[in-house]
Structure 1
Amino acid sequence: MLTMPTPYRGRFAPSPTGPLHFGSLVAALGSWMMARRAGGEWIVRMEDIDAPREVPGAADRQLNTLAAFGMPPDGPVVRQRQRGHLYQAALDRLLAAGEAFACRCSRSELEAVGGIHRRCVGAGDPARTPAIRLRVPALTLGFEDELQGPYRQALDTAVGDFVLKRADGLWAYQLAVVVDDADQGITHVVRGADLLDSTPRQILLQQRLGLPTPHYAHLPLVLDATGRKLGKSLQALPVDDADPWPALAAAWRFLGQPAAALDVGGAPEPALRRAADRFDPGRIPASSGHPVSDPAALT
């Protein structure tokens, strides 16, 4: 496995499907604090490759929220929709090496065999536009997560041959994120634990493409009262740009940090920079201790 260069370079990569909610704020604050504590850089990448799900104006609104909450990125914002040439170059390499292949299996055909692609099934209608999949061998791949500990996944039985480019022509998240992290020199990926089970796929892709593997740390998820991820619930209300401190203080506490270590009040950015010296990753819980229906209740 290739090692990452120093210094620390982290990122926050939201999808512009709506305004930032409290769960997104926790991910942003956690990744920002880890980068600042290490004296590193923190960049923002808009993961906007899924055009049908994008909400017009959401990307700019998210960036405005990050600025209002004292977390402007270091350098220009990168947008995935402008990087298709990089994804195509990576896909061409995988196809040329026989690591990727065209697949015309329909969803119903795959569901009939358990939903995991291990070989192409069904008629394979030549008129159907193919998806491009990565060929996954019988392989169990593990890594050490800096917050969740050791994690292992039998890729062949858990996910099978996974999609790199969809039949509708859209790029799959797994390929885009691997190419972007390497191209941007990301050394540390700090994100929500809902993406923990995606990481072995990404490491496999990194190995196939000869790219370095970053360090990974998966933050606890913010859940609503029903146990659902807050971002997928009706309670995923946007945070308030005009009054950032209630949500910021709640996110700080959610990450296990003592309230006294954050000077609440005044401009958020200098206060967060001071707090970065007191931020202790060892206090971050591996999982959410309680559901959150009202982030203000954590303050």
Structure 2
Amino acid sequence: MPPPVYRFAPSPNGYLHLGHAYSALLNFDMARQSGGTFLLRMEDIDTSRCRPEFEQAICEDLAWLGISWQLPVRRQSEHLEVYRAAVERLTVDELVYPAFESRSEIAQMIAARDELGPWPRDPDGMPLYPGTARDEDPAERDQKLREGLPYALRLDMDAARRQAEQISWRPFWTEEGSGPGGETGRVTARPQAWGDVIVARKDTPTSYHISVVIDDALQEVTHVVRGRDLFWATSVHRLLQDLLELPTPRYGHHGLILDEAGEKLSKSTQSTSLRQLREAGETPEDIRRRVGLSPA
């Protein structure tokens, strides 16, 4: 059996915080202890927010923590054609459709439906897309495409599930208390909980879900260790792996590092960065202690 391959895949749209440090160190430790490989990937398809200076800062922070990785670093922005081909395959299989509504229009539709009773939410608490564009008249859809209107390409979840039938995964490791329940045995995937997820946009030929399953396959990642907040996103990834005939890594989920208010650390909320902690005099050993890991 070949040695395992682990990866850490941040988005270079801000500075790393303690939550990132925990995930990166955990993956690096697991790879080292098993005689495996540790990869660094930059999930930078959002070109409006990702910056070279943040990528450089990520590399500096990881090196400071004592983490090393196999070169070259994979940057998603350099492989858009690979993702485009995967989306085109789903299109040929009639599993995706363009939705032309703006975010505000979707919000208005959901607000109107909420008046009749609570509208379904996904595992992250966001309202499901109502699916109105799924049954749009083909002639009207073609006309909008010819006019060059912006759109999101969505997965027809019902059609995809009929093709994929029943899918599941068995976590190889779950940190105590980190799973939402039932994660110690085989988990039945529930991609329908996410509704018709976006797989690409007019100006971006991919999405997180598409890119991550393609990258894991091409990089021969064997073990995906990530936070419990992504536990149910694995359902979508298992579905796409089945539809695109990709190998399935083994999945593990760890607990989250929380702030004083009990909320998940986030770049968007300006959580204290590793750079700030380093500038305040903390050492890599201090960081490991903060996140509950043994000394290197």
Preserved contact between residue 84 and residue 205 of structure 2 (Cα < 8 Å): no
Structure 1 counterpart of 2:131: 119
The SS at the match of 2:30 is helix
1:134 aligns with 2:150: no
Task: Render the CA deviation track for 1:200-252: whole Å, top value 9, x for unaligned.
Answer: 10110000000011011111111111122112433332245578864544435
Structure 2 counterpart of 1:268: none
Preserved contact between residue 87 and residue 176 of structure 1 (Cα < 8 Å): yes
2-structure distance, mates of 1:16, 1:216: 23
- TM-score, structure 1 as length reference: 0.76
1:178 aligns with 2:201: no
2-structure distance, mates of 1:168, 1:37: 42
Q: How does 1:120-269 map to 2 (within 5 A)?
A: 120-121=132-133, 126=144, 127=147, 128-137=149-158, 141-145=167-171, 146-147=173-174, 148=179, 149-150=183-184, 151-152=187-188, 154-156=190-192, 158-169=193-204, 171-232=206-267, 233-239=269-275, 240=277, 246-252=283-289, 254-255=291-292, 257=293, 259=294, 262=295
Q: In 2 relative to 1, CA 64–254 (structure 1 residues): closer, same or farther, beyond 3 Å?
A: closer
Preserved contact between residue 87 and residue 206 of structure 2 (Cα < 8 Å): no
2-structure distance, mates of 1:252, 1:199: 29
Task: Decide which moves more: 102-111 or 9-18.
Answer: 102-111
Q: Which runs of 4+ in 1 moved over 6 A?
A: 122-125, 242-245
Q: In 2 relative to 1, CA 253–225 (structure 1 residues): closer, same or farther, beyond 3 Å?
A: closer
1:26 aligns with 2:22: yes
Structure 1 counterpart of 2:114: none
The SS at the match of 2:40 is strand
The SS at the match of 2:19 is helix
2-structure distance, mates of 1:210, 1:25: 33
Task: Render the CA deviation track for 1:25-65: whole Å, top value 9, x for unaligned.
Answer: 00100111111111100010011111112144010111112
Q: In 2 relative to 1, CA 248–48 (structure 1 residues): closer, same or farther, beyond 3 Å?
A: farther
Preserved contact between residue 129 and residue 196 of structure 2 (Cα < 8 Å): yes
1-structure distance, mates of 2:229, 2:202: 25
2-structure distance, mates of 1:135, 1:43: 33
Q: In 2 relative to 1, CA 247–222 (structure 1 residues): closer, same or farther, beyond 3 Å?
A: farther
Aligned sequence identity (%) = 33
Structure 2 gaps, min length 5: 111-118, 120-126
Q: In 2 relative to 1, CA 235–247 (structure 1 residues): closer, same or farther, beyond 3 Å?
A: farther
One-letter code of the match for 1:196?
A: F
Instruction: Give the deviation of 1:153 after TM superposition.
Output: 5.0
Task: Render the CA deviation track for 1:3-42: whole Å, top value 9, x for unaligned.
Answer: xx73200101011112221111001001111111111000
Structure 1 counterpart of 2:116: none
Give the count of matched residue pairs. Answer: 254
Q: In 2 relative to 1, CA 78–99 (structure 1 residues): closer, same or farther, beyond 3 Å?
A: same
- TM-score, structure 2 as length reference: 0.76
